[in-house]
Amino acid sequence: MTDTYSTFSKEAFAAFRANDRPGPIHMLNLIRLRGEAVYADGRRATGAEAYATYSKESETVFQRVGGRIVWRGKLELTMIGPQAEHWDINFIAEYPSPAAFAKMLRDPVYRVAMEHRQAAVADSRLIRYSVLPGGTSFNPAAQA
């Protein structure tokens, strides 16, 4: 069975916090939803409905810490990689700093909203990136 992920470990969060450099970060979010959400209290919803609830309830906190979506896409075709792998929701969120992301996670409103994300998500990836300038070359060392 393939490993699935829906939350980060204490070790991963400690590594995140250890690199609390100034400046913005981009967080790549790849999310595969469950067909049926899994709530501890047994309530019924689809994964899409539960994720929509998470999004709605966490939006004010995301905006309050200075977060914004800088890219969103819909998977059309996997050219290289496992053909069976798919992601239902794909986006990059920008935060003004690592501290802003950590502040969002500690917010009591956000923590309540996380129940819906946990119920909705079958598998996910959350990958932090530093922000580099765009350009016209595939070589990150080249400046356009």
- For residue 2, the model assigns a pLDDT of 56
* Distance set, CA 85 to CA 69, 81, 92, 139 (Å): 23, 8, 19, 27
Q: What is d(CA 44, CA 139) in angstroms, rounded to the nearest whole number? A: 48
Q: What is d(CA 41, CA 118) in angstroms, rounded to the nearest whole number? A: 13
Handedness of CA 68, 70, 76, 78 (dihedral sign): negative
Instruction: Specify the pTM.
Output: 0.89
> pLDDT tens, 68-117?
999 999 999 999 999 888 999 999 999 999 999 999 999 999 999 999 99
The model's confidence at residue 143, banded by pLDDT at 50, 70 and 90, is low
